[in-house]
Structure 1
């Protein structure tokens, strides 16, 4: 009934030329990791200007992570998730949503810290930065696995699935 309202899917099983989620999410990854780097360097060199750089990176990353999740959900829904890929895709989805909350919470905390004294950063915040970095690296591993091992949205996997080979 509504089939004529939806755009046709291409050889990647997407309604647009290629995946958008990886583009946006790599932006988020870079901003979060760079923010942590600036915090660490700022802490040890006592250069509080780096805290400002970190704050803005986290702020933009917080907005961007939700855009990444929207495209991730769309692309996960359009992916041909055969049995072997489902556990990894589900874990990647759960951690992605969790990261959005963690990044938003840390950005909120950072806002409070910045409002009180922009030249001080507590060690507990840096500790959370270490934990966040570890979760981000694990999430990158899962995303890489979805593409490079399971081939989601690659033309070969889409074609194999359409031919009933998966």
Structure 2
């Protein structure tokens, strides 16, 4: 079977899909956290339901984000300087996928047992999750803005042998 032709960004399709899905996941995780915090302090239990469904969808979408991230990282022309950040970003991505799924499962149990209340311990773990998401956003931003993965001039420089 012939290989798909790659475009100027070194991808077989017009634009990277990973960032599109990732930004969706980030927004859903942050909004879920926001709804839980506001719901906790205002005692508005409807926000807890919004929070749960945001985490549920995020827990499915994050696996798609990681899979597309792995695929697109494999297509990127990696050079030596990018490797440590890319490796850490990859490990963090899989770890966050597992953590988001676990927190969603915990959130499901909370929703079934006490739908009108969120325990402070859950909010603490969710705060930790938000901190990890910020770290992952930093790493992803660094891969794009500093190292230029799937950025046309960097892809061209790699093809010409300017980067190693």
Fold match (TM-score > 0.5): yes
Unaligned runs of 5+ in 2: none
Partner residue of 2:22 out of 21, 25, 31: 25
Partner of 1:84: helix, strand, or coil?
Answer: helix
Partner residue of 2:120 out of 107, 120, 123: 123
The whole-number CA distance in structure 2 between the counterparts of 1:163 and 1:81 is: 14
- Written as runs of structure 1 = structure 2, the 5 A alignment for 1:43-58 is 43-58=40-55
Partner of 2:6: helix, strand, or coil?
Answer: coil
Deviation per CA, 1:28-82, whole angstroms, max 9, x where unpaired? 0000000000000000001111000000000000000011011100000001110
Counterpart of 2:98 in structure 1 is: 101
Count the aligned residue pairs. Answer: 163
1:156 aligns with 2:153: yes
The whole-number CA distance in structure 2 between the counterparts of 1:104 and 1:89 is: 23
The whole-number CA distance in structure 1 between the counterparts of 2:77 and 2:134 is: 25
1:77 aligns with 2:94: no
1:147 aligns with 2:153: no
CA apart distance, 1:117 = 1.4
**TM-score (normalised: structure 1):** 0.97
**TM-score (normalised: structure 2):** 0.98
CA apart distance, 1:93 = 0.3
Counterpart of 1:66 in structure 2 is: 63
Unaligned runs of 5+ in 1: none
Poorly superposed stretches of 4+, deviation over 6 Å: none
CA RMSD of aligned residues (A): 0.6
